[in-house]
Amino acid sequence: MLNTNLKHIEDVVEYNKVLKENENVMLVCGRMGPMCIPVYGIAEELENDYKNVKFCDFEFDTQEADVIRKLPEVRGFMGIPFTIYYKNGKVVKATSSIQTKEQVKTILDKEFGVK
């Protein structure tokens, strides 16, 4: 399990449940490594500002994370974390590798609108 304060998704059942129960979801799929930790930190910081978004993480090196690794939207990705944004269960945006807080906020504002 990842050492973050985010909601942890550990299997496909939980993944589907989170997507079904939340209109807007930001999911960070990574490891406890240098490029991923800053993105978890950004998600934790933004959790209070974006009450309309469910922030969660998923451990990259698990069989269950195949559900993320096999998404068509991550084809060509060669840098962790894979960060996926969902609206009503559909992927609306996906990014690869480390992102800045401003980059994440821009996506959240564009895809999920008013906080």
Partner 1 sequence: MSTDNHYDSIIIGAGPAGLTAGIYLARARVKTLIINEGIVGGQIILTHEIANYPGVENISGYQLAMIMKKQAENFGCTIINGKSVKSLELENEVKNVTLSDGSIFTTNSIILSPGGRSRTLGISGEDIFKGKGVSYCATCDGDFFTDKEIVVVGGGNSALEEAVSLTKYAKKVTIVHQLDHFQASQYAIEEAKKNSKVNFIMKSSLSSFKGNESIESVDIKNLETNEITNFKTDGVFVFIGYSPNTEFLKDKVELNRRGEIVVKEDMSTNIEGVYAAGDSITKLYRQITTTVADGTISALSVSNYLEKSRINKN
Residues that bind partner 1 (CB under 8 A): 31-38, 41, 45, 75-80, 95-98, 101
Q: Mapping DSSP to helix (H, G, I), strand (E, B) and coil, where does residue 31 land?
A: coil
- Least distance between partner 1 and beta carbon 54 (Å): 20
- Least distance between partner 1 and beta carbon 46 (Å): 9
Residue 18 or 74 having the CB closest to partner 1: 74
Residue 35 or 91 having the CB closest to partner 1: 35
List the structure tokens of 92: 């609306």
Residue 87 or 101 having the CB closest to partner 1: 101
| Nearest residue to 93 (alpha-carbon basis) of 31, 27, 37, 11 | 27
* Residue partners of 7: CB distance under 8 A and separation at least 6: 18, 54, 55, 56, 57
- Least distance between partner 1 and beta carbon 104 (Å): 12
- Least distance between partner 1 and beta carbon 22 (Å): 23
Residue 34 or 51 having the CB closest to partner 1: 34
Which regions of the chain does DSSP assign to beta strands (E)? 7-9, 24-30, 54-59, 82-87, 90-96
